[in-house]
Structure formats: C-alpha cells, structure tokens
Chain A
Amino acid sequence: MNKFFILASGVAFAALATSASAHHSAVQFDFTKQVPIKGTVTHFRAINPHMQLILRVKDAKGEHLVEFEGHSTNNMYRNGYRKGMVNEGDVITVNVAPLKNGGEGGYVVSADLAGGTHFGMVSRSLDAAKIQQQAEGK
C-alpha cells in the first residue's frame, strides 16, 4: 500500500498492480541518522499512513529515480506542511532517515522546498525516538 507508484509512462499499470507488495515499514529506517538528498519531484502524494515521494536525483550513478516515504498526512500538517507546497517539477531537498540495509531512498523527516519554505522535524534537534514513534503511528 505504501509503495511509491512509479508513474513513468508505460509502467504505471505494473507499478500500481504490485504496489501492495512492497510496503516499507518504519523499522527499516535508521532514525538516528539524517541524510540530505536533493532532487526534482516526479511524484508526490500526502496520504496516510505514509506520504509518497519520488525524486529524480543526480549522483555518482548518474540521473535516476529514488523512492521515499515519510510521515502521515496528519503528522506532516502538524509539522508545517500545507496543501500545494510540493509539486511535480519542484527541486527540493529532503532530509531522510536512510534505510538500514543501505539501499536507496529513506524516510523523509523534513524537507526544504523551493522558495525557502520548510516542513517537518527540525533536523538539528532530531528526536529520533519521537520520529520513530510517530512513524510507527501506523
């Protein structure tokens, strides 16, 4: 249910059909760490139990899509997010708790948006326990 749908043309059907099989749970993320990742938004949905985000990222591997998930809509609204803040094509930086297995992606704890706006937990005062607990807020 929480799999981020890869909406690139031609694969939307397959991605949607298999979306229920790849849910990432909060226990898979290392909330004691935070990594900033910059990219262009190709997909974003503020939904429960976890938001969905895909960024087009340029790094040593070249340009590719990276999937993320994050807080529930409710927790995002309580931490500054409002409708319309994130749109496809926006260049944003997300601060993520990385996957424990070293894989790409992570759990979005906060985001710095175009125009200098920000939502999410304050990364400098990261309260890993609180974030973990909210993430498990299911």
Chain B
Amino acid sequence: MMRKLSLAVAATLLTGVALAAAPKHPDFTGVWTNAGAPAMGGTTNTAANVVLPMLPGPKARVDAYNKLVQPLGETPGGWCLGTGLPGSMLGSGGYPMEILQREEQINIVYEAHNEARRVYFGARNAPQEDRVPGRNGYSTGHWEGDTLVVETDNLVDQIDQRFAHSDEAKVVERYHLEPKLDDKGRRVLVADMTLTDPKFYSAPVTAQKRWAQVPNGRLLPYECAEEGWNARLAEIAKKAGVAVP
C-alpha cells in the first residue's frame, strides 16, 4: 500500500516538474535566414509591388529624396547606416538575424551593420520618458497565445526606408512559427508587420516576412565604418602636412 502511494506521489511530482519546465511560449532563439525567394528577401509585400496610401506631402518628400539619390544609386547602407524599422525586420539586406529569448527580454540582432533591437516585457520596460528615439525605435512585447506581438514607437523620421515614415509611426509585428517544417526541414518564423503613421499614410501599411532557421547558425561580425575613419584620418594628416602614421 505504502509502495503504491509512494509511486503515485512520485508520478504526481514528476508531472508537476514536467509542467513547470515546459516553456510557456515558443522559443524563437536561434539564427534565421530568408525563407522566401532571394529577390524578395522573403518579404511578400514590398514598396515595389504595392501602391502605398501615402499622403501628398510626405510623397513629395519621398519623391524628392529618390530623385536625389537614385541616379547615383546611393543608399544609407552604403555609408554604413543601419536599415532601421521596418526595413530591418523585413529584409536586413538579405543577411541573417539572431534571436536571443528570455522571459523578460528578447534581443534581435540583424547581421547587417550589427543592428540590434531589444524587446522588453512587462516590468522590464523603461519609463516612457526614458525611451530614446532611434531608427529602430523602442519595442515592447507581449504574447497572445503562441504569437509574439512586438509594438514599436519612438521611431525617428525616415524617408530612406522601403516604407518611409515619420516620427509618429508605430509598427506592430506579430511573430508565429509555421506548424510544419519547410521542404528543407527547417522551422519557419513568420512576421506580419503593420505600420501606422497619421503623418504619412491614410491607411495602415502591411507586409509579411518569412524566416527559416539555420541549425547551429552563427552571425558574422559586420564592421563597416573603418573606411570613413581612414578617410577622415587622411584629411587630418593632409591638413597637418604629415603622412598618415
């Protein structure tokens, strides 16, 4: 009798331990690469193939910007500037990204330009007044079942984006894993993005990005700014009338 009771207690304890150890949410930790056609970078909806509901004022700015840079083929990335949101999460220049996931914080690193995002959960979030505006803004996260929802604001005005936007833009990303592996046996992470911006758009802008996991993948370092410093050093040396040391 005692033996049966002990076994029952042990089984209950083991079940409890198993339940406690079970992750509350899907684990997106890992390195991910484009899952879609290379030309699209896995993105199913780009500024190139949709008519954006852009308001006249911002459209004039974007047209002027394109007229200025496109004949030269200039890009921010060519000058080592990170892509910023939403371009970073929609393509990252075709380079992979890494996700490191903890319960209270998720870090996302895009290999191109070592661009990093931090998604904070609950009490881990900074007070609103301490959130610093930037090209990738400030991101806060929560879970809706197995879907990770990331809401980003504190973005800066970026007319150099695939989806240009103002400093009032807000981006919502919804990440979920496809139920089946792809034909190469990889997990596929789907990101559905919605951009709203009353200054730039008359309606929300949406796009989807699909990432495939790279087993045991590693990001490579991406150093880019050294040439700019070398050029500056040469200018300084020239002004001083000396050779570059």
Smallest CB separation, A70 vs chain B (Å)? 14
Within 8 A of A (CB), among B199-240: 220, 222-224, 226-228, 230-231, 234-235, 237-238
Could you say which residues of chain B place their CB within 8 Å of the CB of A23? 74, 78-79
B220 contacts A16, C-beta separation under 8 Å: no
- Across the interface, B113 reaches (CB within 8 A) one of A17, A24, A134, A138, namely A138
Interface of B is mostly: helix
A1 contacts B73, C-beta separation under 8 Å: no
A74, CB-defined interface residue at 8 Å: yes
- Across the interface, A47 reaches (CB within 8 A) one of B79, B227, B238, namely B227
B37 contacts A138, C-beta separation under 8 Å: no
B93 contacts A129, C-beta separation under 8 Å: no
B38 contacts A77, C-beta separation under 8 Å: no
A27, CB-defined interface residue at 8 Å: yes
B73 contacts A133, C-beta separation under 8 Å: no
Could you say which residues of chain A place their CB within 8 Å of the CB of B112? 137-138
| Cα–Cα, bound, A78→B14 (Å) | 46
| Cα–Cα, bound, A72→B190 (Å) | 27
- Across the interface, B80 reaches (CB within 8 A) one of A49, A132, A136, namely A49
B111, CB-defined interface residue at 8 Å: yes
How many chain B residues touch A (Cβ–Cβ < 8 Å)? Answer: 36
A138 contacts B39, C-beta separation under 8 Å: no
- Across the interface, B79 reaches (CB within 8 A) one of A1, A28, A136, namely A1
- Across the interface, B74 reaches (CB within 8 A) one of A25, A73, A134, namely A25
B94 contacts A134, C-beta separation under 8 Å: yes
Within 8 A of B (CB), among A39-88: 47-50, 72-74, 77-78
B133, CB-defined interface residue at 8 Å: no
Smallest CB separation, B200 vs chain A (Å)? 22
Within 8 A of A (CB), among B21-51: 37-39, 41
| Cα–Cα, bound, A16→B231 (Å) | 6
Could you say which residues of chain B place their CB within 8 Å of the CB of A74? 95, 111, 220, 222
B39 contacts A130, C-beta separation under 8 Å: yes
Smallest CB separation, B115 vs chain A (Å)? 10
Across the A-B interface, give the 4 residue pairs with the lowest CB-CB distance, nearest first. Answer: A138-B77, A25-B73, A137-B93, A129-B39
Q: List 18 A-B contacts (CB under 8 A).
A: A1-B79, A1-B80, A13-B237, A13-B238, A17-B234, A17-B235, A28-B73, A48-B80, A49-B78, A73-B223, A74-B111, A74-B222, A78-B220, A133-B38, A136-B77, A137-B93, A137-B95, A138-B77
Using a CB–CB cutoff of 8 Å, the interface residues on chain B facing chain A are 37-39, 41, 70, 72-80, 83, 92-95, 111-113, 220, 222-224, 226-228, 230-231, 234-235, 237-238, 244
Using a CB–CB cutoff of 8 Å, the interface residues on chain A facing chain B are 1-2, 13, 16-17, 19-20, 23-28, 47-50, 72-74, 77-78, 127, 129-130, 132-134, 136-138
